[in-house]
Amino acid sequence: MRPLLITSDPEMLDDLLRIVAAVGAEADVAPDLAAARRIYGKAPLVLIGADIEAEDLRRAPPKRGGVVVVSRVHNDEAGWNLVYDVGAEHVIQLPTGELWLKERLTRALRAEPEGGKVVAVVGGRGGAGASVLAAALSVTAVREGRRTLLVDADPFGGGIDLLFGWEQEHGLRWPQLAEAGGRIDSDTLVGALPNRGDLVLLSCDRTDDGEGDRSPRLLPDVMQVVLSAGRAGRDLVVVDLPRHLDDAAECALRAADHALMVVTPGLRSTSAAARVAGAVMSHRDQLSIVLREPVSGRRRAAEVAKVLGLPLAGRVRTEPRLAAAMENGLPPGASPESNLAMLCARLLRESLS
């Protein structure tokens, strides 16, 4: 089992060969995508240098999983373009991403199972109920004995820790994690984040960095590290996404095994959801909808699903007492017999099987 390295940059090749050797393997090497075609589909993992030119893509092999773009430049635009073109799972930056790359190589070469599943949740409009569903999925998973990481990926969402009453809980939030960059490995991540029992939270926070930065943002390379650490150390990772997809959200969408969009009925909501779905589907093939409805009605749910052209994963009733319960520190999904919790239990059975 030899990973495939595709680069014509001698320094990049040296680095990749050294990293492959460090995990006790040897690699096949090709200078471009066309030359790699014969073995491209068979390698356990494909690493493509960001030096590979877009022109080569016309003769590129068919898309496959287990492809990582490797760059030396932070937020490398050429690297990201290549990710889209070849359908790669990540763009990783050297040297910061070296540890991640070694972990990924080790996993691919041992043909270990992928580990925990990643489920991403997005709202079809503002206030649709995506964060509530993400929290309820996590609470339900923990109740069923699954080790769970809930990742708040909405820097303008106010912090998902508030939904759990965990705002005073010690542990890292996104800004401190971003400072640590790619240097946090799977084991230390879980211990460093706020956690209780089987639930671990990576929340945004509400602090101003004091330097006048009013546009908090999450870094895609940190998201990559978090998701792969989550897969390695947890049974489930739930990502609560913003509707305006930033690089970190796109990274999570690409990595997720399942994506759910919470939609509310009505013309404007459905039109908004169609726009969000369009953006989501440029990063992945699968997206299912959860309809939150004020009143039950199968026909309406089926109609919304049909208009959006997406499969209906389930419906959830608006629970009048949910807001008050949350105010009292009871997270969504805490009551196992609630409509929301029962939906989550079914969604988890389906997405984790």
Ligand X SMILES: Nc1ncnc2c1ncn2[C@@H]1O[C@H](COP(=O)(O)OP(=O)(O)OP(=O)(O)O)[C@@H](O)[C@H]1O
Does 128 bind ligand X (CB under 6 A)? Our answer is: yes
Q: Which of 79, 123, 155, 331 binds ligand X (CB under 6 A)?
A: 123
The interface with Mg ion within residues 26-65 (CB under 5 A) comprises none
> How remote is the C-alpha of 334 from its chain's centroid?
24
Nearer to ligand X by Cβ, of 4 and 239: the residue is 239
Does 157 bind ligand X (CB under 6 A)? Our answer is: yes
Q: Which of 15, 32, 154, 221 binds ligand X (CB under 6 A)?
A: 154
Residue 313 binds which one of Mg ion, ligand X, none, with CB within 5 to 8 A depending on kind? Answer: none
Q: To the nearest whole angstrom, how small is the minimum distance from the Cβ of residue 128 to Mg ion?
A: 8
Contacts of residue 45, defined as CB under 8 A and 6 or more positions apart, other chains included, come to: 3, 4, 66, 67, 68, 104, 105, 108, 109
Does 324 bind ligand X (CB under 6 A)? Our answer is: no
Q: To the nearest whole angstrom, how small is the minimum distance from the Cβ of residue 214 to ligand X?
A: 18
How buried is 202 (Cβ within 10 angstroms: 0-12 exposed, 13-18 middle, 19+ buried)? buried
Q: What are the beta bridge partners of residue 236?
A: 117, 148
Q: To the nearest whole angstrom, how small is the minimum distance from the Cβ of residue 290 to ligand X?
A: 9
The residue among 302, 300, 316 whose CA lies nearest residue 262 is: 316
Q: How far apart are CA 203 and CA 161, in angstroms?
A: 6
Structure tokens at 94: 């050297």
DSSP assignment, residue 211? S
DSSP string, 86-141: HT-SEEEETTTTHHHHHHHHHHHHHT----SEEEEEEESSTTSSHHHHHHHHHHHH
Q: Which of 8, 81, 106, 318 binds ligand X (CB under 6 A)?
A: 318
Nearer to ligand X by Cβ, of 123 and 265: the residue is 123
Residue 291 has phi, psi (to 5 degrees) of -95, 120
Q: To the nearest whole angstrom, how small is the minimum distance from the Cβ of residue 148 to ligand X?
A: 17
Site map (CB under 6 A) of ligand X, residues 188-217, x = contact: ------------------------------
Nearer to Mg ion by Cβ, of 158 and 175: the residue is 158
Does 131 bind Mg ion (CB under 5 A)? Our answer is: yes
Q: To the nearest whole angstrom, how small is the minimum distance from the Cβ of residue 286 to ligand X?
A: 20
Contacts of residue 221, defined as CB under 8 A and 6 or more positions apart, other chains included, come to: 74, 91, 92, 93, 96, 97, 181, 182
Q: Which of 142, 316, 344, 348 binds ligand X (CB under 6 A)?
A: 316
Structure tokens at 186: 């799977």
Does 322 bind ligand X (CB under 6 A)? Our answer is: yes
Site map (CB under 6 A) of ligand X, residues 80-99, x = contact: --------------------
Nearer to ligand X by Cβ, of 88 and 121: the residue is 121
Q: How far apart are CA 326 and CA 208, in angstroms?
A: 25
Q: Which of 292, 335, 344, 347 binds ligand X (CB under 6 A)?
A: 292
Is there a contact between 251 and 118 (Cβ–Cβ < 8 Å)?
no
* Lateral strand order in the sheet of 4-6: 28-30, 4-6, 46-49, 67-71, 90-93
The residue among 146, 205, 138 whose CA lies nearest residue 172 is: 205
Contacts of residue 115, defined as CB under 8 A and 6 or more positions apart, other chains included, come to: 107, 231, 232, 233, 234
Stretch that binds ligand X, among 209-217, 265-273, 278-286, 319-327 (CB under 6 A): 319-327
Does 130 bind ligand X (CB under 6 A)? Our answer is: yes
Q: To the nearest whole angstrom, how small is the minimum distance from the Cβ of residue 75 to Mg ion?
A: 25
Residue 145 binds which one of Mg ion, ligand X, none, with CB within 5 to 8 A depending on kind? Answer: none
Does 230 bind ligand X (CB under 6 A)? Our answer is: no
Contact residues toward Mg ion (CB under 5 A) are 130-131, 157
Give residues in contact with ligand X (CB under 6 A).
123, 126-132, 154, 157, 243, 262, 292, 316, 318-319, 322-323, 340
